[in-house]
Amino acid sequence: MTGICFCASYGGAMTLRTSGKAEHYRYYTCSTKARFGATGGRGLTVPMDKLDKAVADHLEWRLLDPQH
């Protein structure tokens, strides 16, 4: 999603982050927040599967709309 989705709060690109054992938890977070930590502001963090689904659903809606 990097380069496609941007944080509404800071405008930073959403970048993939992982955490937990064996990097089990995957999510996208604002690159500004990721780069500067607590001083980078609140930033947006979204579970990977939720953002991927939202983008895929939006693209499907736009591409399969008969008016397009």
Give me 1's structure tokens: 């999603």
Range 29-55 average pLDDT: 84
d(CA 42, CA 39): 8
Residue 40: the pLDDT is 67
pLDDT at 68 > cutoff 70: no
Query: What is the biggest distance separating any 2 CA atoms in the chain, rounded to whole angstroms?
Result: 47
Share of the chain above pLDDT 90, in %: 19
Residue 49: the pLDDT is 93
Q: Is residue 35 within a helix (H) or strand (E), and if so which, with residue range? A: helix 31-36
Strand partners, 14: 30
Residue 3: the pLDDT is 76
Residue 51: pLDDT band with limits 50, 70, 90: very high
Phi-psi category of residue 8: left, alpha or beta, with phi > 0 → left and psi -120 to 50 → alpha: alpha
